[in-house]
């Protein structure tokens, strides 16, 4: 029989495992109920997703939904920054120039060996103030007209929070960029020497070699690890809550404090992160399967 083609059969072991799992879950739920002096108040939560606004006569997103949108924005922009940084640093690590290789190796070495939270604090408190002042962010934002402000609001979230959103996204992107650089480097270096030699013997320049021969073979190998990094980025975005970016974890904390229903909020938020990450994982798996060079 070919591996993976065995028909699925429901046997005795499956039944035993399912019953044990059910008993385990029920036991945990009962224990939580008796040990924790807590009365569950799930009804308080739905209004924090969508609330009825009398003025506009429609449903308007409330804190948790706004936080979810901010997390999505952070992840997308952080991912773009990570890709850009990863390409740059990965390119540096593969370059024939020693100086560039050293810079790349230092960047990766430093960032991979610091905890992400420490890095986020460093970027937010030390670098961001310099950057925000240098590009005159506050004054630019204040002088924008309503359409421009609307575009900024959709892309980045509330303009008044821009000065914490940008450093947060930068910190996440630069942090993830180190790991993306390593994935890129590993992918390119995994192409066997024969490909490099053959292209060199055909007289291809370095850039053409990379573009036409090496990268098309390396990219499908990198989709798996890259998607891994992106999913991790989505979860690391929760660290931005400690630097006042109003993303999901931050809003969860706000809602939890004001409704005093901390557990319900955390469970719901964990569920939201799960849906987000699992959705992304599914997307990336489909992307991997459809890749033409995997020969399937």
Judged by the rule CB under 8 A, the positions of this chain that interact with another protein are: 35-38, 41, 44, 47-48, 51, 53, 62-63, 66, 97, 99, 124-126, 128-131, 133-134, 138-139, 142, 160-161, 163-164, 241-244, 246, 250, 253-260, 262
Of residues 1 and 97, the one with the C-beta less far from another protein: 97
Closest distance to another protein from the beta carbon of 43 (Å): 9
Query: Would you say how long the chain is, in residues?
Result: 296
Of residues 120 and 184, the one with the C-beta less far from another protein: 120
Closest distance to another protein from the beta carbon of 88 (Å): 13
Closest distance to another protein from the beta carbon of 158 (Å): 10
Q: Which helix (H) or strand (E) holds 59?
A: strand 58-61
* Rounded distance between C-alpha atoms, residue 132 and residue 165, angstroms: 11
Closest distance to another protein from the beta carbon of 136 (Å): 10
How distant, in Å, are the alpha carbons of 68, 169, 171 from that of 174?
22, 8, 5
Of residues 260 and 296, the one with the C-beta less far from another protein: 260
Strand, helix or coil at 8?
Answer: coil
DSSP conformation letters of 142-165: HT--HHHHHHHHHHHS-GGGHHHH
Of residues 171 and 226, the one with the C-beta less far from another protein: 171
* Rounded distance between C-alpha atoms, residue 228 and residue 224, angstroms: 6
Of residues 19 and 60, the one with the C-beta less far from another protein: 60
* Rounded distance between C-alpha atoms, residue 248 and residue 273, angstroms: 9
């Amino acid at each position: 029989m070919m591996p993976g083609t065995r028909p699925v059969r429901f046997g005795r072991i499956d039944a035993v495992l399912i019953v044990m799992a059910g008993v385990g879950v029920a036991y945990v739920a009962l224990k939580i109920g008796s040990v924790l002096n807590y009365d569950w108040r799930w009804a308080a939560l739905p209004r924090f997703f969508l609330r009825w606004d009398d003025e506009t006569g429609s449903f308007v997103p409330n804190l948790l939904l706004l936080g979810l949108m901010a997390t999505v924005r952070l992840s997308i922009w952080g991912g773009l920054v990570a890709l850009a940084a990863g390409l740059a640093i990965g390119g540096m690590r593969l370059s024939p120039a020693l100086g560039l290789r050293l810079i790349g190796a230092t960047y990766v070495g430093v960032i991979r060996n610091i905890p992400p939270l420490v890095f986020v604090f460093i970027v937010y408190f030390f670098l961001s103030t310099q950057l925000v002042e240098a590009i005159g962010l506050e004054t630019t934002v204040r002088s924008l007209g309503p359409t421009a402000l609307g575009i900024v609001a959709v892309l980045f979230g509330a303009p008044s929070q821009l000065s914490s959103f940008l450093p947060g996204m930068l910190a996440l992107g630069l942090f993830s960029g180190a790991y993306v650089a390593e994935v890129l480097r590993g992918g390119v270096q995994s192409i066997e020497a024969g490909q490099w030699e053959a292209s060199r013997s055909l007289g291809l320049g370095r850039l053409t070699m990379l573009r036409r021969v090496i990268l098309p073979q390396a990219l499908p190998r990198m989709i798996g690890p890259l998607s891994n990094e992106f999913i991790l980025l989505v979860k690391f975005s929760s660290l931005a809550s400690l630097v006042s970016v109003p993303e999901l974890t931050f809003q969860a904390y706000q809602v939890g404090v004001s409704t005093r229903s901390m557990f319900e909020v955390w469970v719901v938020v964990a569920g939201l992160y799960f849906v987000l990450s699992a959705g992304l994982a599914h997307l990336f798996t489909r992307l991997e399967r459809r890749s033409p060079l995997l020969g399937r």
